[in-house]
Amino acid sequence: MRTGGIILLLIVILISAGCLQTNSQSSSGYPKSNNTISVSGQGIVTGVPDTAVLNLGVETRGNTSLKTSESNSKLSRNLVAVFNGLGINRTEIKTSTLIISPVYLYTKNEQKIVGYKAITSFTITLKNMSLVGMVIDKGFEAGANRLQGVYFRFSKNKSTELKAVALKEAVKDAASKAEVIAGALNVTLGKPIKVTESYSYHPIPIYTPMTEAMKGVTPVEPGEMKVKAGVNIEYSFTQS
């Protein structure tokens, strides 16, 4: 009697499990967990960079490390004075390189120290874009002989603003694709149930060659940069 009761209980459990499995299917025949359409969208906006970053410095050589260092320090102070004279805030000036090292002459059997070189470079971040060419020219006049290029970027506020616009365009692009897919499948598109986002933009580098004499203000144009936003959106859908 007890054995028969156990068997009857097992049969009831198996039937219930089968019902649950059947109920997990939607009326459209798709498993509920798979009732989704996944699409990607992209938005691209352009803007003019409002921040410039340039690296300017001096390299000196001499017979002794002391004389080389003193000469380099003097020219470096002249550069900083020029920057300050142009109204550049100290927080926008950063020493990025400070090196003094021997200069070797290599032969087959030995290496010989023939002098010393010192390098000091400054990274200047400019929010006033009109100062870029002037900083380069005045820096050369003050003794700078190293320019490791200029690149442009967006300030934090402008970057946030452009990202928001690009993101909206990316969402619109994804939604449009989802509508087309839903129409082709003859299903009704539901609400987004999962969204991921991504952004990208690349600073624009400009390399200005060093010349013996530069007349006027060096022209430096930032041009335009693109900000790209991407989204992946997963929509639910139901049978039309």
Highest mean pLDDT among 5-14, 60-69, 214-223: 60-69
pLDDT of residue 115: 95
49-86 per-position pLDDT tens digit: 999 999 999 999 999 999 999 999 999 999 999 999 99
Q: What is the mean pLDDT of residues 150-164?
A: 92
pLDDT of residue 239: 86
Q: Where in the chain are the domains?
A: 27-50+154-210+220-240, 53-150
Model-level pTM?
A: 0.68
Q: Give residue 28's identity as a one-letter amino acid code.
A: S
pLDDT of residue 117: 96
178-197 per-position pLDDT tens digit: 999 999 999 999 999 999 99
Q: Shortest CA distance to 54 belongs to which of 114, 108, 126, 110?
A: 126
Domain 27-50+154-210+220-240: top CATH class: alpha beta
Domain 53-150: top CATH class: alpha beta
Q: Do domains 27-50+154-210+220-240 and 53-150 have the same CATH topology?
A: no
Q: What is the mean pLDDT of residues 82-108?
A: 92
Q: Strand 36-47: give its sheet, edge to edge.
A: 36-47, 225-239, 187-200
Share of the chain above pLDDT 70, in %: 78
pLDDT band at 218 (very low <50, low <70, confident <90, very high): low
pLDDT of residue 109: 81
C-alpha distance from residue 166 to each of 124, 133, 227 (Å): 29, 31, 7
